Structures are given as structure tokens and as C-alpha cells.
A = this chain, B = another copy of it.
């Protein structure tokens, strides 16, 4: 196990009616005037917007609004939000929705106190040294941004989908988690969320760090929960047991509870960021295509770990005489699982095209520290090409 620091000072209020605490929580964490950040109509249709604004009103907290956040959230709305946050003298950001709204709020949070272009903090030109407080009312179980120390924004000038520096400063002060609001999500979005959290755990699970028995088991506990709960939530959208398990798993999958003390990989996420940048595909759908391909490409590096994954997560029988057969069976079952959730399996199903592969590699090359990436196996341009070719078949 590596040395680590774990600091997750987010208050999680989980369960039916938890959103009624929103106003009180904003006050508790020092907010007097709020900028609400949300996407489109879904938070209005599912009642979350009404419940949250009613709670703010009851606590006497005034607010302004920034709606219109899109999936793969864009820099344009961050610039707009920073201006609005300053103009309205707000002192607290409150995101209603999923990862896109939360990440937009976080970027406004550290962009507002910075004098220059907020993108400087992504490029490393400026440090992430201050962040206005962010609260969350979660309505999508997926990205885990409600508990995480990072955010991802797409800079439209340059079409760069980049992660911010990791910093405990941008962990939300509180997150209200009422699984009821996820019951009205379309099956496709539910599935994308399940893939996203599954991938967040895999990025931590596939590690070269020795002596990580405890976090290995915690990762497997979360992976099995996704495997169990996601099909139930899709078959019966109102299944609150499944929705609850998925929502809390999404948070634990990405607040680093199960990743402490381990080198982490993140190559699949890096490749998916290029797919999203090129095709604006749903992040989870992109990960459903990339993750099994990445696994096939790197499996030879640690067959024993992939065999363990097959046995402990997917219940495959161990072939002690031929562990590679077991390892391959795990990836086969993962593909079957994603497919059964209705996720795309190939670049074409994602709306992509094999001919763009060289351009995606070239685009990745423009990023500072573009190559190699990943830790379990270092991915160079040839590796990235090989993984993307495995997404074609």
C-alpha cells in the first residue's frame, strides 16, 4: 500500500426528502446568496428544481440561475457563470443534476476568485489555490463528482476535454442524494451512469501497487453492486433498492474511498475524452466501448489480476491450469454485461469512424504530457491506436 492522504469533508445527506435540507445546508456551510447551476428541463420535470428552490426560499436565501448545462460541459457556460457569479455577488454555487452541472459549478467555483482566464488553471499556467463553496443536489448516479476532487470541462476553442487539477478545495461542501430523482432517468442514461461508475472503480482496481488486499476487496464490493443493481434499475425504473445502491456506489466509486494507497490507471478515461471531443458522445457510452478494448490490450501485463476480476466480480470459475482463459472470460462477461444494458460495443455504434483514429491520436499529442498516459500499462501512440482498432471490430 502506498502512503496517502484521504480527506473527504463533504457532508452527504442521503434518502427520501433529503433535498428539503438544501437551504439549511447552504447556510451551515456559509452561503448567503446562491448561483444555481443546472441543465435542461429534467430537473424541472422531476421536481428537484421546485423542491430545492422551495427549501432556499424557506431558509431566506436568494438565488440567481444558470441553466442550460449540456453533457460534456463546455467552457462557454463556465465563462458566463463566472461573470454572473461576480455580478450577482453570489457566495455559493449550488448544482442540481449530474456530473455536467456539478463540474460546471466547480469550474465557476475556482474560476470566479481567479483574475485571469479560468482555463489557465486547467493548463497549469495558474495554480488552483481557491474555490468558492459548492453544494450539490444530485439527480443522476454516474460521475461521482458530488464527492470527487476534480472536474472535467471541454474548452470549445481547441475542442479539448480536459480534467482539472485534483484538489480537495473543489470537493463539494455537501451533497444531497435522493435516489427517487433518478427513477425517471431514461434507460440509456441509467446505463451510461452504471458504466461510468464501473469504470471509475476499474481505473483504481487495475493497479501495479502491491499489498492492496483491503482496497481490492472494497473495489470488488462496488463492482458487484453495479453488476447487480444496474440491470434491476433498467428493468424496473422505480426500484428504489437498486436506485439507492447505484447512487451511493457512484459516490464511493469516485470520492477515492476505494482508491487510496494504490497507483491508479485512468487510460480508458483519457481515450474516452478523445471520443467525446470528436463525437460528443455520452461519456458512459464511450467508456463502454473503450474499457473492454483497453482490457484486451493490457491483459498480458497481469493475467492473474484479470483472472481475479473474472472470478471475484463476475463469478467465473477459475481455470487454474489456464488462468488466461479465465481472464478472457472476465472481459467476455463484461462485454455481455454492457451489451445487456443497451450500451454500444463498437466505435461505429458510438457514431464514430475508424478513419478518425489518426486524428484522435494527433489531437491527444497536442495535450501537455499527451503521451505516454496510464499507469497500469503506459500507453504510447501505437498503444492508443491498437486500443482504438480493438474498438472497431
Contact = CB atoms under 8 A, between A and B. Distances in A.
A222 B218 CA distance: 8
B6 A12 contact: yes
A297 to B, nearest CB: 29
A4 B13 CA distance: 6
Contact of A1 (B6, B214, B221, B241): B241
Interface stretch (A66-74, A186-194, A243-251): A243-251
Identical chains in the assembly: 2
A211 interface: yes
For the residues of A in contact with B, the DSSP-based class is mixed
A11 B5 contact: yes
B1 A5 contact: no
Interface string A217-230: 11011101100110
Nearest to A229: B213
A245 B245 CA distance: 26
Nearest to A3: B15
B245 A213 contact: yes
A334 interface: no
Interface in A251-277: 257, 260-261
B214 A248 contact: yes
7 contacts: A3-B18, A8-B9, A14-B260, A210-B241, A211-B244, A213-B229, A257-B257
Interface of A: 1-18, 210-211, 213-214, 217-218, 220-222, 224-225, 228-229, 240-241, 244-245, 248-249, 257, 260-261
